[in-house]
Structure 1
Amino acid sequence: MLTQKQHELLCFIDEKLKDSGVSPSFEEMKEALGLKSKSGIHRLISALEERHFIRRLPNRARALEVLKLPEGGLHEAEPSNVVALHPETPVREVASSPAPSNDDILEIPLHGRIAAGAPIEAMEGQSALSVPAALLGPGEHYALEVSGDSMIDAGILDGDYALIQKTEVARDGEIVVALVHEEEATLKYLHKDGVRVRLDPANAAYEPQIYGAGEVRIQGKMAGLLRRY
C-alpha cells in the first residue's frame, strides 16, 4: 500500500504517460501535488522506485516507467514502506522500579513502519510489541517495523523490528530515526558536518541524503533488533 502522496504521484505519472507517452516534469509533478519544492517529488519518486512501482529509464532525461499500480489502492491507516512515527506521539516508559529482569517481557509502542530507503511521509501507529527486556537498555523505547533494503549491510532486513531508544541527540556513526522537514522520517547512519547532516544508507545501491542541520531532527537511536521467523 502507498501513502496518499505516493498514490497521487503514481497515478499522475501513469495518466501523463498514457496521454502523451512522455513523463511529466518535476515542476508539473510539484504543481499537481501542491508541494512547495521539488525535493519532495525526488523523495516520493525514490520511495516509489524502491517499492518497484516505477523505474527510471537509463540514458533518458525525465524518463520514468510505471511498472505496476497498487492492487488495493490507497490505505492511509497502515501505509507500506513509511515510518509511522509522529513527533508528538507519546512513548511509554519501559523501565520501572524495580527494574525488570532479563527474563521479563516488556510491551513497548509499535509506531508502524519506517523506510530503510528514501524518507517518506510520517504517520502514526497505535499498536504495541512484546520485547524481551534483555534487548533494551535504560530509558524510553518504541519499536518500528523496517520496510526496505537500504540498511541490509548493517544486518537490518525488510520486516525486522527496530527497537529505538527515544532521544533527540546522537553521536556520529549511530543509527538513528531522523525526522526530515518535520514530516518525513528514515532509519540511517548519522554523520554531522558543520551546518550539514548526512544520512548514510548501509547499501551501495543507495546514495547518502544530505540536509541542512535545521532540516533534520533526531527522534531516537537504534538500541536493538527483533526478527521473527
Structure 2
Amino acid sequence: MHLMRGFSGGSMPEGSDRKEGMPFYLGSFLAVALEWRAQARNAVLQTQTLQALETRVSTLEKEKKTLECQNKAYQITLKLAQEAKEEAEKQLEEAVELQADFYAREVTLQVQVTSLQDIVEAYEEVQKDLKDRCCGQADELERMEGEMATQAKALGLLQVDYDKLQIEVSRLRVEKEALEKQVASGDATIEELEKDKKTLIHDMAGTFEEGFKEALAQAVCENPGIDVSNCDSTHHIVDGKVVPLKLDD
C-alpha cells in the first residue's frame, strides 16, 4: 500500500511507460506481493480458525465429560430414586399393616378403657373409704403423738434418774474396789490367823500329850503292876473300862 502510494504520488522513473503508470516489473512485483499478502492473511485466518476449532473441540470434550458425569449422576440418582420408591412402597405396605393393627389395637384399647373406667369407679370408692380411714387414723395418730410426748417427758425424767444412778453406780464401784482391797487385806489377815491357830493347836496338842504321859507315869508310880499299854490320848474310860475315843464324843 505504501509502495503504491509512493509510486502514485511521485515522479515516474526513466524508461517507464507513462501510459500504464509504472514499469512492468514493478507491476509483477506488486502482484506477487499482493498474492503473498493474501496468502499470509489466509494463513493467519486459517490459524485463528484452527485455534478456534481446537478451543471449541476442547470445550466440547469438557462438556462431553461433564455430560458423562451428569449422566452417571443421573443414573445413580435414578437408581436411588428407584430404590427409594421400592422402599417407600414397602413402607406403605408396612404402614397399611400397621394401620390395620392399629385399628385392632384401638378396638382392644376401647374395651380396656371401658374396663378401666369401671376400675376407676371402684378405685374412687375405695379411695373414699381410705380417706375416711385416714381421717380416723389421723385422730389416732394425734392421740398417739400426745402419748408419745408424755412418754418423752417421762423418758426425760427417767434419763435424769438414770444419770443419777450412773453417778451412784460409779460411787458404789469405787466403794466396791475399796472393799475388795479390804477383803483382800482381811484374807491375808485370816491366813495369818489360820497359821497362828494351827501353831497354837499344835502347841496345845503337844502340851496335852506331855501332861497325859505325866499323868500315866504318876498312876503307874502309885499303882505298881498296873497295865497302861492300852492307854493313850486316843482312849478314855467308860464304865470302868478303857475304850477307844470316838470322834463323835
Range class of TM-score, shorter chain: under 0.3
TM-score normalised by structure 1 residue count? 0.11
Structure showing greater Rg: 2
> Which structure's relative contact order is higher, taking Cα pairs within 8 Å and 6+ residues apart?
1
**Structure (1/2) with the larger strand percentage:** 1
